[in-house]
Structure 1
Amino acid sequence: MARKLDVSRETIYAWFVHLEKASMLNFLLVRGKGVSILQKPEKVYLENTNLAFAMKAHPDLGSIRETFLLNQLINAKLSVTLPNSGDFYVSGVHIEVGGKSKNAAQVKGESSYLIAADDIEIGFGTKIPLWLFGFLY
């Protein structure tokens, strides 16, 4: 990105920090890593799903799901990090996000996990409807 914009990598990181402070972006860091202006975040998400629809008529559904969940978790003042398996790690629980057919394959071997599934009305076992996380806000 820095090369394409003909600016330094540090400048890109500074812009990211400003966009995060302006509530336009959310960063996902690996657990145990500190936050620094010169540190590249592991993943960068838009702060709100509406921003994705403002930039593109049909944004990627998987990204929308993850953006929604991260937004709800962060606004609930929970500490969210990037785990080795799954999409998010919150309070000792690995969370995998997907559609109604999402299974635990990506978090198997983890003792504590949840599947945040879209397109389901009620959950069962460790599978929870994604929309329920909206109540965290």
Structure 2
Amino acid sequence: MDLAYVTKAEQLLVIIAESVPFVPNVSKLSDKIGINRTTLLSYLHYLDEIGLTQNLFKNAHGISKLQKPSKVYLDNTN
């Protein structure tokens, strides 16, 4: 991740923390933060991968598993 986008990831974390459980609307959120949809989905994946958030997905098969998470929670609220 480029250092210029760290503030974008921080904005995303603030939005997730303020609305629990966070049900992402990827199009509106990407417009609000100022990044494209694909980058936003990558950020959600990265935040889950490093343990800051926990993404919950619907039970799906095939290509539908690659879509947005159903809900996003902060992993450790302490």
TM-score normalised by structure 2 residue count: 0.54
- SS of corresponding position for 2:73: strand
Runs of 4+ with deviation above 3 angstroms = none
**Structure whose residues are more often helix by fraction:** 2
Residue 32 in structure 1 maps to residue 60 in structure 2: yes
Question: Percent identity over the alignment?
Answer: 31
Gaps of 5+ in 2: 1-28
Q: How many residues are aligned here?
A: 48
Instruction: Return the structure number with greater relative CO, CA threshold 8 A, min gap 6.
Output: 2
Match for 1:6: what amino acid? G
Tell me what 1:20 maps to. 48
Task: Give RMSD over aligned pairs.
Answer: 1.5
Match for 2:33: what amino acid? L
Deviation sequence 1:73-113 (CA, Å, 0-9, x none): xxxxxxxxxxxxxxxxxxxxxxxxxxxxxxxxxxxxxxxxx
**Structure whose residues are more often strand by fraction:** 1
In the alignment, the residues of structure 1 paired with residue 36 and residue 72 of structure 2 have an alpha-carbon distance, to the nearest angstrom, of 18
Residue 48 in structure 1 maps to residue 51 in structure 2: no
